Chain A
């Protein structure tokens, strides 16, 4: 399984942008980059995904490096409700592949 590396924790001030990095140096050409977040006592929640181009949705933006070996999840204005564990995972598009979560990045938002 292709793996990802994320910092264990990050802090952000409320209403400031947050950039959450993810390294995936062994990514294959058919792997999508997915981001999920998990609030306490809840299941993971899908945030965004992309293949090569940067992506935007109502929750966040995903910036993908040109060589695709890293990506950054961007929360444009952090709120207290964004405090969660953020997971970056790879999912192949060439057929079934087992999904591997790491330990993610715990984001703390400071009021």
Chain B
């Protein structure tokens, strides 16, 4: 498809398990973002990639969270030793703008809803 694709759409894991969430951005988009959205809240920034370079990871809540984009296209967000507070929707967005310049919109996927039991 032409939009941002995220998989899986839903993920249930037991506390302590590792999970991996995938994002396929729009083809050719340079910038890629990950957000975490708790119920009833706006998206919270996690990390930003420009091509394969992770330029900002200041929003990652702990060292259990790790993101990569090795070839500058598909990205994976990995959460190790999951905790109940990790339960949220994880959103991926891409943009054609290098440097994430403000004159270009972000295109979001529909997210992965993660539930930690």
Q: Contact residues of A with B, CB < 8 Å?
A: 30-32, 34, 36, 41-46, 49, 51, 85, 87, 90-93, 95-104
Contact = CB atoms under 8 A, between A and B. Distances in A.
Q: Of residues B42, B58, B108, which shows the largest number of chain A Cβ atoms within 10 Å of its Cβ?
A: B42
Nearest to B105: A46
Contacts of A51: 103
A65 B28 CA distance: 35
Given A42-B110, A44-B91, A98 B59 contact: yes
Contacts of A98: 45, 48, 56, 58-59
Interface of B: 4, 33, 35, 40-45, 48, 50, 55-56, 58-59, 91, 93, 99-103, 105-111
Contacts, number: 71
A66 B104 CA distance: 22
Contacts of B93: 43-44
Nearest to B40: A103
A103 to B, nearest CB: 5
Given A32-B102, A43-B108, A99 B56 contact: no
Contact of B102 (A34, A42, A100): A34
Nearest to A41: B110
Contacts of A92: 101-102
Given A34-B102, A87-B42, A96 B91 contact: no
